[in-house]
C-alpha cells in the first residue's frame, strides 16, 4: 500500500505521515528532507542557491543514509530547500530514490508537495493536508522553540507565506492537490483528532466507500 500525503509547510502532514506509517506498519519518507539536504549542501559549500549546476550535482550526490534530521530541520535550511526545490533537474535527480522508496514492501507513506501528483500518482490513498497560515505559523513557532531555536511569529508567518507562494507557483511539480486527493483541514483539529481523521479517510478509501 502506498499512501501519499501532501500539503503546505506546517500543515501537520509530517506528523500525520509518521503516525499513519506506524499504524499500518509501513515505511515512511519525509521527502522535504531530500530538498533540505540539497539546500544545506549548497549553503555549507558556500554556493549561491541559484547556481543550478552545483545544485544538480548536490542532488545527485545525496546519501539519505547520512542525513542528520535535526540539522536539516533548522530554519536556516528551510528557505534554501524551497529555492533548490524549484529547479526541475534537482527534482528529477531525486525522483528515482523516492519512487523506489514508495515500492518498498509492505508499503510506504511519503509526505511532501508532489507525492500524489508526480512521485506516486497511482498511490492507494492520497491526502492533501491544509490549515490556515496563521495556525501553521503558530505550530511552526512551537516546533522551532522546542528545538531551541528563536522564533518570532510574524517572521515565521511571512516566511511560510513566501514559501507557499514559491512552492505553489513554480512550474516544476508545484504544490497542489491531486484531483483524487482527500482534503484534510487540520485548522481546528488537535493532533489526536487529526490522526483520527486521517485514519478514517484511509479506512474509507481502503474499503472503497465514497467519502464526502
Ligand atoms: O516539507 P518541508 O518543509 O521540509 O520541505 C522543505 C522544502 O522542500 C519546501 O519548501 C518545498 C520543498 N519540497 C518539495 O518541493 N517537494 C517535496 N516533495 C517536499 C518538499
**Collapsed DSSP state (helix, strand, coil) of residue 100:** helix
Ligand 1, atom nearest to 166 Cα: 10
User: Which of the pair, 208 or 149, is modelled with greater confidence?
Assistant: 149
Torsion, Cα of 64, 67, 70, 71 (10° steps): -120
The count of other CB atoms within 10 Å of the CB of residue 99 is 13
CATH number at residue 41: 3.40.50.300
Cα–Cα distance for residue pair 168/65, rounded to 1 Å: 29
pLDDT score of 188 more than 90: yes
Which residue's CA is the closest to the ligand 1 atom numbered 16? Answer: 113
pLDDT > 90 in the chain, percent:
91
Q: And the C-alpha cell for 12?
A: 501537520
* Rounded distance from Cα 135 to ligand 1 centre (Å): 19
Which residue's CA is the closest to the ligand 1 atom numbered 5? Answer: 32
Please choose, from the candidates 3, 16, 18, the residue with its C-alpha nearest in 3D space to the C-alpha of residue 130.
16
Q: Say which residue the cell 503558530 belongs to.
A: 138
The structural domain count of the chain equals 1
Exposed (0-12), middle (13-18) or buried (19+): which is 211, by Cβ within 10 Å? exposed
Residues flanking ligand 1, CB < 6 Å: 9, 31-32, 35-36, 81-82, 85, 112-114, 163, 167
Interval 159-172: pLDDT, tens: 999 999 999 999 99
Q: Say which residue the cell 497560515 belongs to.
A: 133
212 domain residue, yes or no: no
* Rounded distance from Cα 111 to ligand 1 centre (Å): 9
* Rounded distance from Cα 207 to ligand 1 centre (Å): 31
Ligand 1, atom nearest to 163 Cα: 10
pLDDT score of 209 more than 80: no
176 touches 195 (CB < 8 A): no
* Residue 141: partners with Cβ closer than 8 Å, 6 or more residues away: 151, 152, 153, 156
pLDDT > 70 in the chain, percent:
98
Average pLDDT, the chain: 95
Interval 41-69: pLDDT, tens: 999 999 999 999 999 999 999 999 999 99
pLDDT of residue 211: 47
132 touches 187 (CB < 8 A): yes
Domain that holds residue 98: 2-207
Average pLDDT over residues 5-29: 97
Ligand 1, atom nearest to 170 Cα: 15
Please choose, from the candidates 57, 124, 63, the residue with its C-alpha nearest in 3D space to the C-alpha of residue 97.
63
pTM of the predicted model as reported, rounded to 2 decimal places: 0.95
Q: Say which residue the cell 550526490 belongs to.
A: 61
Alpha-carbon 35 to chain mean position: 9
* Rounded distance from Cα 133 to ligand 1 centre (Å): 16
pLDDT score of 128 more than 60: yes
**Collapsed DSSP state (helix, strand, coil) of residue 66:** helix
Q: How confident is the model at residue 75 (pLDDT cuts 50, 70, 90)?
A: confident
201 domain residue, yes or no: yes
User: Looking only at Cα atoms, what is the longest distance across the chain?
Assistant: 52
Amino acid at each position: 500500500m502506498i499512501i501519499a500525503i501532501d500539503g503546505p509547510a506546517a500543515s501537520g502532514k509530517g506528523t500525520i505521515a509518521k503516525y499513519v506509517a506506524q499504524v499500518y506498519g509501513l515505511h515512511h519518507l519525509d521527502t522535504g528532507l531530500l530538498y533540505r539536504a540539497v539546500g544545506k549542501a549548497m549553503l555549507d559549500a558556500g554556493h549561491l542557491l541559484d547556481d543550478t549546476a552545483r545544485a544538480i550535482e548536490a542532488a545527485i550526490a545525496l546519501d539519505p543514509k547520512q542525513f542528520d534530521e535535526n540539522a536539516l530541520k533548522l530554519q536556516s535550511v528551510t528557505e534554501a530547500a524551497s529555492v533548490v526545490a524549484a529547479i526541475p533537474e534537482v527534482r528529477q535527480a531525486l525522483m528515482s530514490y523516492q519512487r523506489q522508496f514508495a515500492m518498498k514492501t509492505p508499503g510506504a507513506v511519503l509526505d511532501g508537495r508532489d507525492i500524489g501528483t508526480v512521485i506516486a500518482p497511482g498511490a492507494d490513498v492520497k491526502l492533501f493536508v491544509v490549515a490556515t497560515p496563521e495556525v501553521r505559523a503558530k505550530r511552526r513557532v512551537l516546533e522551532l522553540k522546542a528545538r531551541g531555536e528563536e522564533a518570532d511569529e510574524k517572521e515565521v508567518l511571512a516566511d511560510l507565506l513566501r514559501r507557499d507562494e514559491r512552492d505553489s507557483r513554480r512550474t516544476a511539480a508545484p504544490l497542489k492537490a491531486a484531483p483524487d486527493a482527500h482534503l484534510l483541514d487540520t485548522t481546528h483539529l488537535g493532533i489526536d483528532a487529526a490522526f483520527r481523521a486521517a485514519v478514517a479517510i484511509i479506512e474509507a478509501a481502503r474499503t472503497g466507500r465514497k467519502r464526502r
